[in-house]
Amino acid sequence: MSALQPQLDDLAQRLRAGADAANDIAALEELRVRFLGRNGEVTLVRRGIGALPPAERPDAGKLINDAVARMEALLDDAKARLARGALDEELQRRIDVTFPAPEASLGSIHPVRRIVDEIADAFGRLGFATVLGDEVEPSYYAFDALNIPADHPAREGFDSFFITPELLLRPHTSPMQIRTMQQHRPPVAILAPGRCYRRDAVDARHLFQFHQVEGLLVAEGIHFGHLKGALAHLSRSLFGPDQRVRFRPSFFPFTEPSAEVDTTCPKCKGNGESCSMCGGSGWIEIGGAGMVHPNVLREVGYDPAVVSGWAFGVGVERIALARYEIDDIRRLIESETEFLRQLQ
């Protein structure tokens, strides 16, 4: 072993002792100059290479360079230690994180849109497209094409606002069924949300304008069981995983068989017992549904012997009342800031 090594080890030893004792950057700089500076102790060792035995001279340079690297690393470590001392001081700082911050300037989406969008999402997952249409419709689309000819008793039930005898504010979004089927060959799977109008006097449960979401699926092999499954899926998407649906026979000219659709009351979870929302029945009504009437399919040029389908319509405001436990339907259209703020 070279005689140089113990000498270099000694230098490193002393540098470490000095670095450990240093309290500031200046002291480290002083050490660096003393050991590694131009006239420092390492330089003195380097100068002594010529005095070494000839056999040791070739390795001497590498030994010294290694020692220098080791010593520089020692100094860097010491420097980092001192710098972290300053950060540790920062780490002692505390603020009151509960101190109120200014509110973010977000607006809000109306509860009606939120529900429509959730329905669109629920059916989007099943492969339905969402389409929009006009609010003023010829009576052909609102009635005739939907198997409600002039003089059909059901027309009266729609109690519509007319602009002219042939033009009215749509009482449901079902015209979009006809428009879509006239433009596309089957299969067709659409959701049609939108504003509808009926001549209802305004009170806590009624508005003359409201939102409906219509759903339509026509393809080969579509049956009533699928309708039940799809509306159960809808109810669970809106109100939670334990929801059930109940179909009661009913009558709509454009579907057959037709049904009124109830879902588990979201407030009492179907227990009934003096529940203010469902009147104790345990169910709330969410809309009407049924298999598309063969006359409607024929009207749009579909063959009812080949394709079958179903349609449903749900009232958005009614869902909103149940979901948010709103006491008066007018609040939805009054859209008071406080109301919107609570439901945002």
Partner 1 sequence: MRLPLAWLRTYVDLPDDVDAIADKLSMLGFPVESIERKPTITGVVVGRITAIEKHPNADRLQVCTIDIGAAKTLTIATAATNVAAGQWIPVAQIGAILPHVTIAPRKMRGVESEGMLCSAEELALPAEWFEDGIMQLDESLPLGSDVVAAFGLCEPILEVEITSNRADAMSVLGIARELAAAYGTALRAPSFENPASLPSPTERAPRIELRSNDCTRFVAQRVEGVRVAPAPSAIRIRLAQAGQRPIDALVDISNYVMLEIGQPLHFYDADAIPNAHLIVRDAAPGERLTTIDERELELDERALIIADENAAQGLAGIKGGSASEVRASTTALLIEGATFVGARIRRTSARFALRTEASSRHERTLPPALADAGVARAAQLLASLGAQLFAPVVAGGEIAPTPQIALASHELRRLLGIAASPDSIAFHLRALGCEVAVDGELLSVRPPWWRRDLTQSVDLIEEYARLEGYDRIPESLPSVPATEVSSARYRREREAAFLLEALGYREVLTYSLVGESLLGTLARGGLDERARSVEVANPLSEEQRYLRASLEAGLLAYLARRDERAAIFEIGHAFARDERSVLETPTIAFARATDPVEQPEWREEGFARVKSDAIALLSRLTGAAVTVASGEHRFLHPGICALLSIGGRELGVVGRLHPYLAQSFALERPVYLAALAFDAIPEYVAPTYAPPSKFPATYRDLALVLAPEIEAAAVERVARAAVGATCVGVRVFDEYRGAQVGAGKKSLAVRITMQSPSETLTDTAVDERIDAAIARLHDELGATVRR
Number of residues that bind partner 1 (CB under 8 A): 85
Give the one residue of 22, 122, 188, 286 binding partner 1; rule: CB under 8 A.
Answer: 188
Closest CA to 213 of 127, 319, 338: 319
Footprint of Zn ion on 230-269 (CB under 5 A): 265, 267-268
Our finding on whether 324 is near partner 1 (CB under 8 A) is no
| Contact track, partner 1, 236-275, x by CB under 8 A | ---------xxxxxxx-x--xxxxx---------------
**Bridge-partner residues for 172, per DSSP?**
none
Of residues 37, 49, 157, 275, which one binds partner 1 by CB under 8 A? 157
Q: Considering only residues 3, 25, 73, 167, which one is a binding residue for partner 1 as defined by CB under 8 A?
A: 167
Pick the closer one to partner 1 by CB: 23 or 164.
Answer: 164
- Chain residues 20-79 in contact with Zn ion, contact rule CB under 5 A: none
230 binds partner 1 (CB under 8 A): yes
Phi and psi at residue 180, in whole multiples of 5°?
-70, -45
By CB neighbour count within 10 A (0-12 exposed, 13-18 middle, 19+ buried), where does 75 fall?
Answer: buried
184 interacts with partner 1 by CB under 8 A: yes
Among 28, 64, 178, 189, binds partner 1 (CB under 8 A): 189
Length of the chain: 344
Which of 86/104 has CB closer to partner 1? 104
Exposed, middle or buried, 343 (CB in 10 Å: 0-12/13-18/19+)?
Answer: middle
d(CA 232, CA 259): 14
Residue 225 contacts which entry, Zn ion, partner 1, none (Cβ below 5-8 A, type-dependent)? partner 1
In angstroms, what is the minimal distance from the CB of 303 to partner 1?
A: 13
Contacts (CB under 8 A) with partner 1, residues 277-316: 291, 293-294, 308
Distance CA 115, CA 318 (A): 11
The residue from 10, 66, 134, 328 that contacts partner 1 (CB under 8 A) is: 134
116/278 with CB nearer Zn ion: 278
Q: Identify the CA nearest to 214 among candidates 192, 194, 185.
A: 192
Phi, psi for residue 216 in degrees, rounded to 5: -145, 130
Q: b vs e for 270-293, b when ≥16 Cβ sit within 10 Å of the residue's Cβ?
A: beeeebeebeeebbbbbbbbbbbb
Among 238, 278, 316, 329, binds Zn ion (CB under 5 A): 278
Query: Residue 337, interface with partner 1 (CB under 8 A)?
Result: yes
Q: What stretch of H or E contains 289?
A: strand 283-292
The conformation of residue 144, written as its DSSP 8-state character, comes to G
Distance separating alpha carbons of residues 41 and 37, to the nearest angstrom: 8
**101 sits near partner 1 (criterion: CB under 8 A):** no
Among 120, 131, 277, 333, the residue binding Zn ion under the rule CB under 5 A is: 277
